[in-house]
Structure 1
Amino acid sequence: MTRQQHRGVSDRARHWWARAAFVFAACAAVVPALSAGIMGALALLIVGVGGVVVTVAALYTFFTRMGLLRWLALAGACLSPVIVVILFMRAHLLWVVLVSCALALLALSCARTALHRSGSDTAMPEYSVPPPQRPFLIMNPHSGGGKVAKFDLVRKAEELGAEVALLEGPDNIDVNALARRAVARGADLLGVAGGDGTQALVAAVAVEHELPFLVISAGTRNHFAMDLGLDRADPTRSLEALRDGVELRVDLGAINGRPFVNNASFGVYAEVVRSPAYRDDKAATVLALLPDLLTGHSGPKLVARIGEAAVDGPQAILVSNNPYGSSDLAGLSRRARLDRGVLGVVTLSVANAREAVGLLRRTRLHGLSQQAAVELVVDADTPEIPVGVDGESLLLRTPVRCTIEPGALRVRVPRTRPGVRPAAPELDLARLWQITHRSAPASK
C-alpha cells in the first residue's frame, strides 16, 4: 500500500470516527429525556452539575483553609457525590445516569480518535551515527531507589566499552567538573544514569563540547527519558544506544544560564519543594503549606513577562522545555516533541472557589495562561526567589530569565525503543465538525 493510499484510509476512518462521536453525544443527551422526560432530564442535569460544583468548592476550601473548616470541607467533598448517587437511586434514575455517562465516554473516545494527528506530526527526525569509541557515563547509585545496582548497569556499560564514574561519597560531587575531565581525556560521548537535574548539568557540558549525550532511564520519574521514547521500566535498554543508536537533535532550556531538560517552576510548587520537610513527607508538607500559598499570605509576589505581555501576581508559573499538552497544567504528563524551539509557559491564578470551578470548566480563562515563547522573565518584590528546576530547589536572584537553545543537544538513543506515545489531542469541536463533512480534513 502506498503512503497516499494509507493516508486516504486514515482520513476516511477519521471521518467516520467524528460522525460516531456526535452520534454518541446526541444519544447521551437523548437517553435521559426519553427515560425521565424533559423536566426529569433537567433535574438530573441540575443535580449532577450541582454535585460537581459543591465537590470542587469543598476541595478548594480544603486546600486553602486551616483548622476545623478544612476537615469539614473534606467531609463535604466526600459526601457530595454520595448524596447525588442516593438521589438518583431514590428516583430510580441511576441506570439512566450510568448509560448516559457511558455514551458520553464513547463520544469522547471517538472524538479523540478522529482528532488524533498522524505519527509524522509528532516524531522527531533521527540521524544515523557510528558507535562512540570512548563513551563516559556518570551513574548515581542512589537514584531511582538503587536502579544502577538492581539492573547491574555498571558491568553492562563497561562490557560495551564505556568508562563509568559512580557518584559516591560526598553529596557535593561536582558532576559538571567530572564530565569536563572526561572530555579532556578524550571522551566522545557523555551519559548519565540518574535524575533529571543531573542529566541537565552533564547535557550542558555535552552541548558546550559538541558531543552526543546518552540518557539512561535510572531516575525516579524519568520525565526526560519518557519524552525521548525510552524504556523507563528497563534502563539497560538505554545502553543499546552505545552499540546501535541514532541521534535526536533536541532543545535545551536555560534559567539564568543554568540548563534544564524538563521544567522550572515558580510560586506555589517552588515554595513547597523548598521546604526541608518535603523530602521526608511530601504529602504532609503540601497539605501544611498549600493554604497559605494559594491564598497569597506567603511567598513573593511574582510578575511574568512574556514578550510584550505581563502577568501580574500569578500563584504559580511553570516553564517547560517545549510545551506540555494543553490539558496538563502541572508538567506531569508528556511533551509531544522536544525540538520545536520554544518554551511552554503556564501561569495560574486562583483567588477563590468560584474561580477554581471556572478554571476546571474552562469558563474563566483569565486566571489561566498557556502559551509558547522563546523567552520568559520572572520578576518579584524580593531580591531572590525559590525555583524548582527539574525537581531540585534553588534560590535565584531576580529577575530570572528563562530561554531555550533550539536543537542544541545531540541525544543518542537506541534505534529500537518504545517510542513516544502521542499526547491526547485537544477537544476542538469546530475541527471535529469539519472532519465529519470532509473525507480529507486539513490539519491545523
Structure 2
Amino acid sequence: MGEVVDRHRPRRLARLALLCALAAVVVLAFTGLHGLLVLLAELLGLVLTAAGAWWAITRRALARIAGAVLAVGAPVAVVVLAYDAEVLLPAAIGVALWLAGLACARSALRAARPPRPMPEREAPPPRRPALIMNPKSGGGKVERFDLVRRAEELGARVLLLDTSAQQDVAELARRAVAEGADLLGVAGGDGTQALVADVAAEHDLPFLVVPAGTRNHFAMDLGLDRDDPATCLDALRDGVEVVVDLGRVGDRTFVNTVSFGAYAEIVRSPRYRDAKAATALDALPDLLLGDGGTRLTARADDHRIEAPQALLVSNNPYAAPDPVDLGRRPRLDGGVLGVLGIRVDNAAQAADVALRGERADGLELLSARQVTVHAGAPEIPVAVDGEALMLPTPVVCTLRHRALRVRVPRDRPGADPAQQARAHRLEWRDVTRLALGSSRAASSRTGGRS
C-alpha cells in the first residue's frame, strides 16, 4: 500500500500546484482593476527594491542612503497601496496561493525523481583515533560542549591547539599518523577540516568531522548535527563510512568553496574579522564598479566566463546556488565542481536577477571538472573555505573524486536525501505534463523510480 501512495504522490502534488496557481489567478482576477494595478505595483516594487539595494552597496554617502531608503520603502509603498485600494487581503491570499503552488510544483518534480543518498559502508571502529581540537573555534565550542572529555572517554587521543602561537595543523596531523593514529579528526572550522582531511586522504585513513566552527558547511552537507557537535563523536564507537570528493586549488585542499573576486578581496582586508559589514560596505563600490580588484577571466572546462565580479567554485554543486544563499550540496561524491559566476554592472541587471533568478543574464551556473582562473596579475587573492590566501596565476581548481573516507555516526539528523534534494529548475509545462500523464510515465520521463 505504501508503494501505491508513493507512486501517485508526484501526480497529486503537480495537480495541487496547478490548482493553487489557478486559484491565485482567480483571486487576483476578482479584485478587478485595482487588483491588477496592485499586481503591477508588486512587480515594480520588486524591481525598485533590487535597484535600491544595488545603489546601497555600490554607492557612498547620500546615494547609499537613498538606495537603502528605496529598497525598504518600495515594498512598504506596495502594502500601503493595496490597503488603500481595499485589496490587501485578496492580494495577500493570492500571493500565498502562488507561493504554495511553487512549493508544490518543486516538490512534485523532486518526488518524480527521488534523490539517492550517498552510499554508506560498514567499517570497524578505530583503535587509536587522534582528534585535533581548536579551543577558540566557534566562540569556544570545544569547552562549551565538553568535547575533550567526551572524546577521551571514547578512547581518542586529543591534540589541543595552542592558540597563542602559530601551529602547522597539517604537520601535527602527520605526526599523529607517524605515532600510530588509525583515524584523524578535527573539532574546528572548515579551513582546519580541509588541512587535516588532506592528510587523512594522503594516508587513506578515515576522517572524523566535529562541527566546532562558525558555519560548518561541510558538516551540514554530511548530515551532521551542527547544534550539538558532541553527537558526532558517537561515530568513534558506532559509525559508518561515506566516501566523498575533495577539492584542490593549486596545492591546497578545500572541502567547501573557493572564492575569487569581490569576496576574496574583502576577506583579505586586515579589518575584516573585526568589522565584517563595515569592511564589505567600504570595499564593494570600488570592487563592483570596476575601480578596484583585478580583472578575472575563468574557463570552466570548455566554457569561458568573462570578467566575473565574483566567482565561486565548490566541491560538488550546491542545490540552490544563488549569490545570497547557497543552500546545501545534495551529494559530495558527484565528481564535478559547482561554478557560480556573477556579473552585475547596473541597477537594471540587479533587477533582472531579482525577477528571473538563475535565468538572469548576470548569473552563470554550471558544473565542470576543472576551472582555471586567469588574471592580469602574477598573484590574486583567493578565499579558500573562508581563509584569505594569495595564489599565483593562473589558479587551477580540480577535484579528487572519492578521495576521502569520512566516518560519521550511524544516526545523522540531516542525512535524509529528501532534505538535501537538488532544487529542480521549475518549468510549468513539466508540472502540467506530470499532472495530466500517468505517474509511471512521469517517473520514467524524469528519471525517477517507482
TM range (shorter): over 0.9
How many angstroms does 1:169 deviate by?
A: 4.2
TM-score (norm 1): 0.95
1:91-240 correspondence runs (5 A): 91-117=85-111, 121-240=115-234
The alignment partner of 1:329 has SS state of coil
- Letter in structure 2 aligned against 1:34: F
Aligned-partner Cα distance in 1 for 2:155–2:369 = 39
How many angstroms does 1:419 deviate by?
A: 2.7
The alignment partner of 1:366 has SS state of coil
Please point out which of 379, 394, 401 is paired with 2:396: 401
How many angstroms does 1:207 deviate by?
A: 0.6
1:319-345 per-position Cα deviation (integer Å, ceiling 9, x unaligned): 000000244335642100000000001
Please point out which of 381, 384, 387 is paired with 1:389: 384
1:179-234 per-position Cα deviation (integer Å, ceiling 9, x unaligned): 11111111100000001001001000011111110001111111100000011111
Residue 428 (structure 2) pairs with residue 429 (structure 1): yes
The alignment partner of 2:313 has SS state of strand
- Letter in structure 2 aligned against 1:213: F
The alignment partner of 2:439 has SS state of coil
Q: 2:278 is matched with which residue?
A: 284
Residue 38 (structure 2) pairs with residue 44 (structure 1): yes
Residue 29 (structure 2) pairs with residue 33 (structure 1): yes
Aligned residues: 438
RMSD, aligned α-carbons: 1.6
The alignment partner of 2:220 has SS state of helix
1:256-271 correspondence runs (5 A): 256-271=250-265
**CA distance 1:32–1:83, change in 2 (3 Å):** same
1:379-434 per-position Cα deviation (integer Å, ceiling 9, x unaligned): 10111110110011001010000000010000000111213322462223232122
Aligned-partner Cα distance in 2 for 1:430–1:119 = 16
Runs of 5+ consecutive residues of structure 2 not aligned to the other structure: none
The alignment partner of 1:87 has SS state of helix
Which deviates the most, 111-120 or 329-338? 111-120
Residue 375 (structure 2) pairs with residue 380 (structure 1): yes
Aligned-partner Cα distance in 1 for 2:29–2:412 = 50
Aligned-partner Cα distance in 1 for 2:117–2:391 = 35
Aligned-partner Cα distance in 2 for 1:81–1:328 = 22
Q: 1:254 is matched with which residue?
A: 248
**CA distance 1:169–1:68, change in 2 (3 Å):** closer
Q: 2:52 is matched with which residue?
A: 58
How many angstroms does 1:90 deviate by?
A: 1.5
Aligned-partner Cα distance in 1 for 2:197–2:112 = 30
Asked if structure 2 preserves the Cα contact closer than 8 Å seen for 1:326 and 1:370, the reply is no
Please point out which of 351, 354, 361 is paired with 2:348: 354
**CA distance 1:219–1:366, change in 2 (3 Å):** same
Runs of 5+ consecutive residues of structure 1 not aligned to the other structure: none
How many angstroms does 1:120 deviate by?
A: 6.0
Aligned-partner Cα distance in 2 for 1:25–1:423 = 23
How many angstroms does 1:293 deviate by?
A: 1.1
How many angstroms does 1:82 deviate by?
A: 1.8
